[in-house]
Amino acid sequence: MKRTVFALSVILAMAPSMVWAQGKYVHANNSGYDNLDPHAIFDVGRAASRINFYDGLYRWVDNPPKLIPWLAESHKSSADGKSWTFNLRKGVKFHDGSEMTAADVIYSIERMLATKKGASSLFMPIIDPGTTKAPDKYTVVFALKESSAIFLATVPEILVVNAKLVKQNEKDGDWGAAWLAKNVASTGSYKLKRYDPAIGFVGERFKEHFAGWGPKAFDEIEFRTVLETNTRVQGLMKGDFHGTDGYLPYDQILRLKQAKNVQIFEQESMRVFYFSIHNDRPPLNDVHFRRALAYAFDYNGFINDILKGAVARNPGPNPNNLWGAPKDLQGFTYDLDKAKAELAQVKQPLRPITIGTLAGFSETEQAATLLQNAASKIGVEVKIESAPWQVVQSRMQDRDKNYDMVPLWKSTYYVDPNNWVGELYGSRYYGTRNYSYNKDDELDKWINDALAINDEEKRRDLYEKAARKVTEQAMGIFVYNTKWYGPYAANVGGIRFCPIGSGQDMRWAYFK
């Protein structure tokens, strides 16, 4: 009898944790979460912490992406497009129970402009420090230096931090950078429960979130760093994880499609795979040399054989399925005779070219070896160096330390052609989003003009001209636009994929 009572009490004691465990979603991520500061990071690999812990004034959801009011209820802009007024939602609580107000929004944008990291590159050219004002507790006015057609599209990237809490943790004028790298101060959907840069993070549902919750929302979410592709895939098939990244090598997608307990969500996306080329370094500053390399990439072999036709050829910098991508754009084809002819016109001495690939992203290495192989046939030596994304990115941000070429993806951070051709080749983004370090006054003018006007037809024309020139000058080698194949456990529902964030916004998801 005693034994029965004891066993019963053990079961009862475990009951709450068992229920809790059922509400925990575990995601295997292909990148490490080395920093939680929402103003320091800005990439797809670490998007989960930004999206799930923080809120912006507006929020991107669904596909095609829609911009919905979030911390702000509405906005209006002046006729000249320079003044933007946002009316904040009242009664929004931070995780510590205090109310979010205009002062927090102002602190957040000032912090971004001061720390000059993450998404700040979107705002530094158009907002001066100290110019954002709060006429009252629930109104914020952004005074732009110049009209910006993309400002509203980028507003979701102004993630709002709890100003009072962060200020309490500032050290030596660091804007709380050291503290916020390991802590969360926000209104976001989840509260930080556990964080280890080597492992990942666990978030606990913030029940008082202003947007409310569905009846079956996850109680906890865990984003765990699992760098090994095979481990992520095996873990998903075994049930150790409920989801993983949606841009796995297609071989793995085919494998997961065979697994009964896994479902694959397929969505059109906007994520262009291309070779970033350092345009400001000999002999890559010679258009003929760049064209020779562009002719030396086996596009069909890569897309149809290695990726099994799961992606679509994208000949230019803008995704085919977005306005601003010329429909008749003729990209380069694999043609070694043309490559040799272009190379013959190069007057500068040739030298070995270094391609930096992303460790853990085998597609980048396969693309690089494919180019290396063809380049050797036209007499260009290519060396390949592999390093983790954080290392590659920090080198790319330095004009001198940058690799000659890097194969990588340009993901969607906001839905506008400026996200691609503008950021990648506009000199205003040197070192922050532009790693090509190209200098072309005409291109700059088109990109800057397109940013300054709101007429979409005129903007389309400018971006199409820019895309044509970038392609024709082979400022990069553009390969494909990808689809998103989101692998999730069969019992996961409610995934709302949006190209911005790549389906990692977990507040809508649940177990069926």
Q: Which stretch binds another protein (CB under 8 A): 202-210, 322-330, 357-365, 403-411?
A: 357-365
Q: Which stretch binds another protein (CB under 8 A): 21-29, 48-56, 97-105, 358-366?
A: 358-366
Q: Which stretch binds another protein (CB under 8 A): 10-18, 203-211, 313-321, 364-372?
A: 364-372
Q: Is 392 helix (H, G, I), strand (E, B) or coil?
A: helix
CB of 300 to another protein, least distance (A): 9
Out of 128, 305, 335, 381, point to the residue binding another protein (CB under 8 A): 305
CB of 382 to another protein, least distance (A): 10
Alpha helix segments (H runs only) across 97-201: 102-115, 120-123, 151-154, 163-168, 177-180
Out of 57, 160, 165, 368, point to the residue binding another protein (CB under 8 A): 368
The phi and psi torsions of 430 (rounded to 5 degrees) equal -50, 130
Which amino acid is present at 83? S
CB of 364 to another protein, least distance (A): 11
| Of residues 106 and 368, the one with the C-beta less far from another protein | 368
For 252-255, the CB contacts below 8 A with 24+ separation are 253/310, 253/485, 253/487, 254/308
Do residues 466 and 424 lie in contact, with contact meaning Cβ atoms separated by under 8 Å? no
Per the DSSP assignment, residues forming a β-bridge with 262 are: 489
* Residue 298 makes contact with another protein by CB under 8 A: yes
Residue 329: name the closest of 443, 433, 463 by CA: 463
Out of 302, 409, 420, 429, point to the residue binding another protein (CB under 8 A): 302
Residue 392: name the closest of 421, 355, 444, 420 by CA: 355
Do residues 370 and 512 lie in contact, with contact meaning Cβ atoms separated by under 8 Å? no
CB of 125 to another protein, least distance (A): 36
CB of 317 to another protein, least distance (A): 25
Binding to another protein by CB under 8 A, coded x per residue (else -) over 223-252, reads -----xxx------------------x-xx
Question: Which class for 277: exposed (0-12), middle (13-18), buried (19 or more C-beta within 10 A)?
Answer: buried
* Residue 255 makes contact with another protein by CB under 8 A: yes
Task: In whole angstroms, give the CA distance from residue 493 to residue 498.
Answer: 15
* Residue 99 makes contact with another protein by CB under 8 A: no
Kindly identify the residues of this chain, within the stretch 370-409, that bind another protein according to CB under 8 A.
370, 372-373, 376, 383-386
The residues, ordered by sequence, that sit 6+ positions from 62 with a Cβ below 8 Å of its Cβ are: 496, 497, 498
| Of residues 84 and 250, the one with the C-beta less far from another protein | 250
Binding site for another protein (CB under 8 A): 228-230, 249, 251-252, 255, 298, 301-302, 305-306, 359, 362, 365-366, 368-370, 372-373, 376, 383-386
